[in-house]
Amino acid sequence: MKAKVDPDLCTGCELCVGLCPEVFRMEDGKAVAASPVPAAHEAACKDAAAQCPVEAIKLEP
Ligand code: SF4
């Protein structure tokens, strides 16, 4: 699975980093995703995408 954060939408709330620090990190005030997502962290990554308040996290199979 691939993950990408749309920097134009991300508000830098850090929710995704809290939910899945193995995949998301902050860079210049915006979240950045490690991609491809390691299989062991796919569930947490999907949770972060679902909970992102501005739907900035895009996932691809
Ligand atoms: S949860 Fe969404 S808005 Fe918040 S830092 Fe992550 S990508 Fe950005």
pLDDT digits (tens, 9 = 90+) for 44-59: 999 999 999 999 999 9
Mean pLDDT for all residues in the chain: 98
Could you tell me the CATH number of the domain that includes residue 13?
A: 3.30.70.20
- The answer to whether the CB of 31 is under 6 A from ligand 1 is yes
The H-assigned helical ranges of 1-61 are 15-19, 42-51
Which residue's C-alpha comes closest to atom 8 of ligand 1?
10
- The answer to whether the CB of 52 is under 6 A from ligand 1 is yes
Contact assessment for residue 47 and residue 20, using Cβ atoms and an 8 Å cutoff: yes
For 31, the domain range is 2-60
The total number of structural domains that make up the chain: 1
For the chain, what is the total number of helices (H) and then of strands (E)?
2, 4
Q: Could you count the other beta carbons within 10 Å of the beta carbon of residue 58?
A: 14
Question: Which pTM was predicted?
Answer: 0.95
- The answer to whether the CB of 57 is under 6 A from ligand 1 is yes
